[in-house]
Amino acid sequence: MKEDEVLVKVEGLSKKFCKDLKTSLWYGVKDLVSNIKGNKNERLLRDKEFWAVKDVNFELRRGECLGLIGHNGAGKSTLLKILNGLINPDAGKITINGRVGALIELGAGFNPILSGRENIYNNGAVLGFTRKEIDAKVEEIIDFSEIREFIDMPVQNYSSGMKVRLGFAVAAQMEPDVLIIDEVLAVGDVSFRAKCYDRISELMKSCCIILVTHSMPQVSKICTTSILMHKGQIKAHGNNGNVIEAYYDDNYIEDKPTLIHSEDCVLEYFRTKEKVFNGQIKNLEVDISILSEIETDDIDISIFLMSRELIPVCQTSSKFFNKKIALHKGVNSVKFIIDELYLNTGIYKFSITIEGINTNKIYLWMQNLNSIQVFNQFTLVSPIIIKGKFIC
């Protein structure tokens, strides 16, 4: 087994669809007749047709994980279906060396009237495994899926989460050379997703993986390289940081503060002087103005830094520094200085909560405040702590 062996090679891959069913059927008949006569040349777009995938090229070697990202309708799922042999391309060439395991659509490849156990044998046979080889793996698959209690029940009675568990267990435990995963993992619960990502890390030692996801943290953590799809074409390909940056440029969302809860407090402004950072963030000043209707010295201010997916990345709080903050009726000014912070490439937004230390009463909770953009050539996976201080 060669570590640098090319397992997937895609050359000039293109696929078109028709927006109208009747027109599509008529075009299909005409193309069938044309192919029978020996004309298999690439055809130009006809009325009501569009390119779902157009002129896609890439290579994937053993030990690599490719992240496919892009907005809905960009052509990601169509590309995966072509790679898995579910649909034929209109142009281009695909070369795949070895067995392919795929988890593309929820329940795809399962016979709903058969039990989970019977579907394991069916899927294994499709992948090219003998009954003896499947016998040796079936218990591992059932254990990994964590649905042993229901394994002899018809799959049509499974929940979406159970189908994902069984589907991933079959695809991963059969140890394919190429593993294709669409965003169906998002259906699974948190603990099972973590288990899946651990398994993906193990599989990368012996196979290559193609992962479709809308989560940029997943791309940063798992993928060795990534592709941004846009209207069926590759818009960016290569380093995760550069591709994620292009993704955010393609899907920019304007700052619109979101008020979750407010009681006796109004946030007048939340500002940072700098908006863009290269690598390390140092001496970043956060200026906050709060209009209060109450007078109290029992206050904790917490600041969170959130990813574009509103996932908390790191946080700080006045109580971390044993800093006592009082609110006065009227305008209150608070300044926080971030001494040092490293973040992955991406766009981050702030969230703030103001609550009573002893009462646990929430006076204010707002999200989606004041975005900052970070460019970093490194991918960080270690926990992040903000170093800084509050100035009142």
Q: What is the pLDDT of residues 1-10, one digit of tens each?
A: 555 688 899 9
The whole-number average pLDDT for the span 40-58 is 78
CA dist list (Å): 152 to 107, 120, 156, 194: 16, 11, 12, 26
Q: What is the pLDDT of residue 222?
A: 83
Name the residue among 349, 247, 366 with its Cα closest to residue 306. 349
Cβ atoms 264, 332 nearer than 8 A? no
pLDDT for 380 beyond 60: no
Contacts of 257-261 spanning 24+ positions with Cβ under 8 A: 257/366, 257/367, 257/368, 257/369, 258/366, 258/367, 258/368, 259/365, 259/366, 260/365, 260/366, 260/367, 261/362, 261/364, 261/365
103 three-class SS:
strand
Of 309, 313, 304, the closest CA to residue 270 belongs to 304
Alpha-carbon distance 187 to 165, whole Å?
Answer: 10
Average pLDDT, the chain: 82
Over residues 100-121, mean pLDDT: 81
Q: Which of 37-51, 118-132, 254-268, 327-341 has the lowest mean pLDDT?
A: 37-51
Q: Tell me the two tokens of residue 303.
A: 């600041």
CATH code, 6-39+46-250: 3.40.50.300
| 82/219 Cα distance (integer angstroms) | 22
**What pLDDT does residue 383 have?**
42
Q: Where are the domains of the chain?
A: 6-39+46-250, 258-391
Tens of pLDDT, residue by residue over 322-331, are 777 888 999 9
Interval 173-177 mean pLDDT: 80
DSSP character for 174?
A: T
- Assign 330 to helix, strand or coil: strand
Alpha helices in 2-130 (DSSP H): 21-36, 76-83, 116-126
Its pTM stands at 0.71
Residues 101-117: what's their mean pLDDT?
A: 78
Q: Which two tokens stand for residue 144?
A: 């990994």
- What would the mean pLDDT of 188-211 be, rounded to a whole number? 82
Measured CA to CA, the distance from residue 134 to residue 169 in angstroms comes to 13
DSSP labels, 41-73: PPPPP-TTEEEEEEEEEEEEETT-EEEEE-STT
In angstroms, what is the C-alpha Rg of the chain? 26
For tokens 């009463």, name the residue.
361
What type of residue sits at position 304? F
**Residue 66: what pLDDT?**
92
Question: Is the distance from CB of 372 to CB of 346 less than 8 angstroms?
Answer: no
Mean predicted confidence (pLDDT) in 132-161? 89
**What would the CATH number be for the domain defined by 258-391?**
2.70.50.60
| pLDDT in the model for residue 37 | 63
